[in-house]
Amino acid sequence: MESFYAKFKKDCWIHARGEIRATFNGETADSSGVGQKPRPRIESLTDLVFGLALSIGAIGLISNRPKNTEILVESIAGFGFSFLILISIWFRYTEVMSVLRVEITRTRVLNTTLLFLVAVEPYLFNLLNFNSSSGLGSLDDFASVGFAIDLGSIYAIMASLTSILAKEEDGLIAPDLLKKYRRIRNLEIATALIFFLTTIPVFWIVSLPGGFPGSGGPLRYYAWLATFPIIRGENILRRLRKKSTR
């Protein structure tokens, strides 16, 4: 009788210990699964960087009081240019990163580099002189070249992230969306190439008479404005297709 009770007690203890171990391991796995999901923190950092970049541009307007109406219009137009570019990149970036896995090394490196370039953009933008008559190699020339390289690099990284998203074998998005994101990737590549192309000295040497915007300034600035239809290319194509199907 005693041996039967001792055996029963031993079996109960083994079973209870197994349940405790399974529960502990389950909690560890769950907590590790949560710990391996850094996306919310990265998204918060992204929102902070983009938000600061937009805010710094607005602060720059406040700190530089315009002397006349012409300078006021030019300042607002210049800030609007920077604002529209950053906000379009932010929307596209958020859309892409909601699907991509941040823990992949390549994605993490591209993500970090992009955030650095976005953080630098307001500084380079505030160095721009839209009415500059300085020659080649001047501070105004170097500042505009730096701004073009910065935005070109941002769009090149966005094209790389979108290319990862549009790989059919990875299955990150529905098959019927692959063509859409491949078009977006191609438009981002075209935009990056335009910004890089404007670093050629001829885009600074050749200028229109008068002041920028509207009636003059270096050709480089007008080439930048030409990227807006390309940036919005996918939306324009979608609207045209909707109108044609009506």
Q: What is the pLDDT of residues 175-211, one digit of tens each?
A: 777 888 888 899 999 999 999 999 999 998 887 765 5
Q: Residue 106: inside a domain, yes or no?
A: yes
Q: Residue 7: inside a domain, yes or no?
A: no
Q: Residue 143: what residue type?
A: A
Model pLDDT, residue 198 = 94
**Could you give the angle at the alpha carbon of 143 between the alpha carbons of 140 and 148, nearest 5°?**
125
The structure tokens listed for 120 are 């630098």
Domain total of the chain: 1
Model pLDDT, residue 235 = 67
Q: Residue 30: inside a domain, yes or no?
A: no
State what percent of residues in the chain have pLDDT above 70.
70
Q: pLDDT for 57-83, tens place per residue? A: 788 777 777 788 877 887 888 888 888
Model pLDDT, residue 95 = 86
Q: Residue 16: inside a domain, yes or no?
A: no
Q: Residue 33: inside a domain, yes or no?
A: no
Answer whether residue 13 shows pLDDT above 50: no
Q: Residue 25: inside a domain, yes or no?
A: no
Nearest to 36 by CA among 96, 104, 109: 104
Cα distances (Å, whole numbers) of residue 15 to 10, 11, 20, 42, 88: 9, 6, 9, 43, 59
pLDDT bin (cut points 50, 70, 90) of residue 146 is very high
Instruction: Give the domain range for residue 158.
Output: 38-245
Q: Residue 48: what residue type?
A: L
Q: Residue 5: inside a domain, yes or no?
A: no
Q: Write down the pTM of the prediction.
A: 0.74
Q: What residues contact residue 106 under an 8 Å CB cut-off, 6+ apart?
A: 164
